[in-house]
Amino acid sequence: MTSTPLTQTFLYGDWVFNIDKAQALLKEHPRAPEPTPVADWAAHYHLHRLTPDYDGAPWCPIFGPDQTHFDAGHAMQTDLDKPVIIATMEFDGRPAVLLIDGVHRMYRAMAEGRATLPAHILTVAETERIRER
């Protein structure tokens, strides 16, 4: 008996981004990765709170992982040379970006004091193609 592989997704509110589709799209349309600032993403995702010994007040992130969906040990084993994936959406005629793949890598980069990580930034049209709802 064979099992169907799970599709890797990123959930943001009611939106679902298909990471497998994003990776396939990037293979079809290769581009050089761009540096993205670790400190900015770490602050937005409150990554400083995801340490194994965090004992502060309970919190609910606006986006990104919480303590129940994050493994700091796994994060410290990730490949920082693999580009993260950033989606681009449009709100009120202005672009807005969202890290949809690479939170564990971003955590490791923050913990190791890295300034940037390589990133593939999807266009608005590409993001629409990989967003399932």
pLDDT tens by residue, 65-89: 555 667 788 889 999 999 999 999 9
Rounded Cα distance, 8 and 132, in Å: 12
So where are the chain's domains? 9-130
pTM for the whole structure? 0.87
Q: How far apart are CA 40 and CA 105, in angstroms?
A: 14
From CA 69, how far away is CA 60, in angstroms rounded? 12
Range 26-40 average pLDDT: 97
| CATH architecture of residue range(s) 9-130 | Alpha-Beta Complex (3.90)
Q: What is the mean pLDDT of the chain?
A: 87
Across the range 122-132, mean pLDDT stands at 97
Minimum mean pLDDT range among 51-55, 59-63, 120-124: 59-63
Residues 6+ apart with CB under 8 A from 60: 66
